Structures are given as C-alpha cells and as structure tokens.
Copies of this chain bind each other. A is one copy, B any other.
Amino acid sequence: MTAPATTETGAAAEEGLGFRPLYAQVRDRLIRRLVDGVWAPGEPLPSEMQLAAELGVSQGTVRKALDAMAAENLVVRRQGRGTFVARHDEERIMFQFFKLVGDDGARTFPQSRVLSVSAARANAGERDALKLERDAKVVRIRRLRSFGETPAIVETLTLPETIFPGLSAMEIPNNLYGLYAMHFGVTVASTRERIKAVATCAQDAETLGVPAGTPALKIDRLALSIERQPVEWRVSVCLTERFHYLSELR
C-alpha cells in the first residue's frame, strides 16, 4: 500500500473526540493485552513487524506505540533481542518508586517485619483515598522496615479487598509490588506522594526505638494501576538521620 494515511481519523472525529493518533490507538490496544495478561512479565512481545502485520499498520506506527510504552516503564526494549513486558523485580522498584537513599549515596532496599495484618470495613479516610464505595472492605498491613539492624520506617498500608482477595491470609513478602503483579495481576504504574515533616507520635517512636517527638518524614503514597485506578494507600513514617529522600527534577 502506497496509499495516504487516512485510517481511523474520520471515525474518531465523528465520535466527537477531537482526533486520536493511530499510534495512540495501537498503544491502547497493546496495553489492553498487557492488562489482560496475554504476555507475562519478563516475556517478549511479538516483533514490531509481526505486530504491524497483525494490527494492519506500518512498523513505524507500532514502533511509536512501543516507544511510548517504554517511556511509561510498561515494556523494556533491548536492541537485537526484543521488547519485553516490564518486570516488577526488586531492582526496578528500588530505582523507580523507592526514593530513600543513604547520605553516602548508597541505595539499599530495607528489610521488612510485618507487625499486623487485618481485614476490615474501610473507614472514611480510606474510602476517600482509594475511591471506594461505602461498606467496601479493605486489608490493612502495618510493618517496620529496617536498614540492617537500624529501624527506619514504620508504615501502614491499606488495600481494597476486591482487588486483592485473600491477601490478609497470605504470607506478606518484602517486595509487595512483585506480589501484586504475580498473584493478582495488578501492575503499579505510577505513584503520587505527599511529604510532610512531623514529630513522631508515641506509638511510632516506640516501634522505631527513638524518643517521641523525633522529627520524621511522613510520606503519604497513593499507588495507581496502569488503568489509573487507586490500588494501594500507604503512609510511611521515616527517620532521616542517615538517609534522605531523593528527588530529581527536569
């Protein structure tokens, strides 16, 4: 086909949605397959040529869709090898979502000790944060995270029971996002963190082994899935005596 590029433009315009590029449509279709688990994490997608033939577009259009997905950290592209579904292994999470760094620049991933796991009806704050219906059930996890022998973070997580059924009865691993992907097919694609400085309350201080009132970072994180649905609410209280939160802005 040497025909001009008309494609679906007309259809999109007729729908009253002011034009959606073909590559964006291709991206949407590929993301749909990712969400549906057509390809497992770490597995290679078909080659650009194959996808192009199958979807009826040019290789260049598939490429632009895949490049966009790579920019969103949904796939990883490797020259000479292929395009792979992104994995949620420890390393990736550490660099992507875990922003606490040693003052000497060292990036170590903390160990976790679960303090409690419980199932309950969501309270008002949880419903608000996770956009839940009235009477929705949630799982609450409280844990202490340490670098080596030094306690540094105490955090409370709240998760919708509908998205993570049976979680409260499971063993809780250190790397939660890996568990979400593996057992529940949920990929955390982005997070929004609100950070404040607070004085540690008596309970947190005791758990962390510091005097009550010690200054700490309170990080309020909402994690969103690929479809931008809230899947986890996490409030972390972090000591920053020997660590800091690193934020690089462009």
Contact = CB atoms under 8 A, between A and B. Distances in A.
Given A195-B195, A198-B215, A215-B215, A72 B250 contact: yes
A239 B97 CA distance: 25
Interface of A (DSSP majority class):
strand
Contact of A195 (B192, B194, B217): B217
A194 B244 contact: yes
A246 B191 CA distance: 11
20 contacts: A99-B247, A99-B249, A190-B250, A192-B246, A192-B248, A193-B246, A194-B244, A195-B195, A195-B217, A195-B244, A195-B246, A196-B217, A196-B244, A196-B245, A197-B215, A197-B240, A198-B240, A199-B215, A215-B215, A245-B247
Given A72-B250, A101-B194, A191-B249, 7 more contacts: A96-B250, A193-B247, A194-B247, A197-B197, A197-B217, A197-B239, A198-B215
